[in-house]
């Protein structure tokens, strides 16, 4: 298991040698976390060397970069509910 921090999103990735370009390793997880009030900088494209399987990411693919959590949350609430 790897734990990564100091980023602006949360992510859980499973790495599997059967899906990898380099397969001489045991499967492992990587958990990524950042501050709860961080802006919305999304992750970069995954490197496929170790066969990543992205299981969770906290930022939607179509979310604009560098939005505060408050701004992002407001966009996800229907305007009639605000």
Alpha-carbon separation of residue 42 from 21, 25, 33, 38 (angstroms): 25, 28, 12, 11
pTM over 0.85: no
For 34-66, write each residue's pLDDT tens digit.
777 666 666 778 888 999 999 988 877 777 666
Q: Where are the domains of the chain?
A: 2-81
Provide the token pair at 42: 């999304």
* DSSP E strand boundaries for the chain: 2-4, 11-15, 28-32, 52-57
According to the model, what pLDDT value does residue 42 have?
Answer: 65
């Amino acid at each position: 298991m790897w734990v990564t921090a100091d980023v602006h999103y949360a992510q859980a990735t499973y790495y599997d040698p059967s899906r990898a370009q380099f397969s001489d390793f045991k499967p492992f997880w990587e958990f990524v976390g950042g501050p709860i009030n961080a802006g919305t900088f999304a992750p970069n494209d995954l490197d496929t060397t170790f066969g990543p399987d992205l299981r969770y990411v906290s930022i939607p693919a179509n979310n604009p970069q560098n939005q505060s959590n408050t701004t992002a949350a407001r966009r996800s609430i229907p305007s009639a509910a605000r």
